[in-house]
Structure 1
C-alpha cells in the first residue's frame, strides 16, 4: 500500500431546477463533517438525472484540485473558481490526476475502499455553470475531467484523509490513456481491441464495440451542447 494523495475537501449537493427545463445537483458545497459513503455515493448527496449521473459505477466523482490554476490561466478569474466544487466534484484531491490514476485502482480513503471505474464524460450543464459555451468540450479536450469511484466497502471520508493505493492491476492504463483514445475519436482496430480487453463499464464497452463494428465516431453534440432551446 502506498500513499498517493490527500483529500482536500468533501462536497455534497441537493437537486435544484437548472437550465433548459432540467434539474441538477452540480452545485456541490463544502462540508466539514465526515461523509458516509454508501454503494451509491455520499448519503447526503443527490444527482439530478440518474440516467447519466450517480449509480454504482459513478458513486463518487473526484477532481484534482491542481487543475484549478490551469483553468484560471486559460479562462481568467471567473467567480466560480473562488471555491472548490466548481466541477460538481464530491472529492477534491491533492497529488493525483487522470495521468496518474489507473483503471480499476483500488483506493483506501478513510474507512472506505474504492475502485476507479471510469473517467467523466462531461455534459452541457458545465457550459451553463461556467458561462462558457464550450466548457464541456474543453474538459473533454484537455482530459481534465476527473473520474468516478465505485464504493467497494462502505465507510466515511473526510477532509485531510490520506488517499492510499492498495492495488493497481492495470498500471499501463491510466485513465488519460483510455480517455484520449475515446475522446480523440480513435478508429484504429488494434488500439480499440486493446481497450475492449479491459474491464470497462458497460457504457464504455458498448461505445468501443460500436466503433469496431461501424467504424464511426459518435455524435456527442447533444451531450456537449445540450438540447435545443
Structure 2
C-alpha cells in the first residue's frame, strides 16, 4: 500500500484529568477534554508535557504515549451525533494530535514517523470506552466508534524531544506493509465473530513485534479460549454510573 505523504500536525492537544461522572459516590476522572496548545511541548516516553490520564490502568503508558485522530472523521460524527454536548472537532475525543490526510486505512502497525525532534511508532488502534458516551452526552458513541473503525491510533516514543503544531509527520519506516490499522481493527472487532478466517488472522496479529503487548496478549488469549471477550463493560460502563 502506498505510504502516506508527510502531513503537518494541525493541533497539538493536552489536558488534565477532571471528574466527569460519579461511581458509587466517588468521582470518575478523565482527561478526555483536551485543548490545543501553542508552542512546543516536551514529549517523553510516557507522554506529552501537561497531559494526564484519569485511569492509568487502561490509559497512557509507553505503548499509548500519544493519541492521534483523523480530523476528517468529525464530518461524519457531526451527522451521527447532531446533539453532541461538545463541539465535534479536534480534541473532542481526547486526541493529542489532529491532522488531515492520515487515516486507519493508510497508517500501518509499526509505522515510524519523524515529527519535530521526536520519533514515533504506531502501536495499536484505540479501544473506545464508555467515557466517550459521557463526553458527547449520547448513548452508543463508543460502540459507533468501534464498529466504524474510526478509532484513531496510539504511538510509542522512540526518541524524546520537543513537539509542536506545525511540525510535519514524515514516514521513515514501514516494517509491516501488509498491516494497515484497518486490518488490525477488523481482526480485533470482527463484524462476523464466527468467520472461519479469524483464528489465522489472530495468529498473524499476535506475532507482530511492533504491536502493543496487550493486543498481542488479547489475540493469544482468543486463540487459547476460542472466544472473544465481552465488550459491554468497556463500551457501556459499569452499573451505577451517574452524571
Same fold (TM over 0.5): yes
CA offsets per residue over residues 156-213 of structure 1, 9 Å max, x none?
1111211100000111101110111111146632222121221222211111111111
Within the alignment, does 1:225 sit opposite 2:236 as a pair?
yes
> Shift in Å at residue 216 of structure 1?
0.8
Question: Matches of residues 202-217 of structure 1 in structure 2 within 5 Å?
Answer: 202-217=213-228
Q: Judging changes above 3 Å, is the alpha-carbon distance between structure 1 residues 218 and 111 closer, same or farther for their aligned structure 2 residues?
A: same
Within the alignment, does 1:36 sit opposite 2:36 as a pair?
no
Task: Tell me which residue corresponds to 1:197.
Answer: 207
Structure 1 unaligned spans of 5+: none
Task: Tell me which residue corresponds to 1:51.
Answer: 57
Q: Are 1:114 and 1:151, in contact at CA under 8 Å, matched by a contact in 2? A: yes
**TM-score when scaled to structure 2?**
0.90
How large is the Cα RMSD of the aligned pairs? 1.6
Structure with greater helix share of residues: 1
Q: Are 1:64 and 1:96, in contact at CA under 8 Å, matched by a contact in 2? A: yes
Match of 2:106 among 100, 113, 122: 100
Q: In 1, distance between residues paired with 2:178 and 2:88?
A: 35
Question: Matches of residues 166-177 of structure 1 in structure 2 within 5 Å?
Answer: 166-177=172-183
State how many pairs are aligned.
229
**TM-score when scaled to structure 1?**
0.95
Task: Tell me which residue corresponds to 2:20.
Answer: 18
Structure 2 unaligned spans of 5+: none
Question: Matches of residues 21-170 of structure 1 in structure 2 within 5 Å?
Answer: 21-76=27-82, 78=84, 80-170=86-176
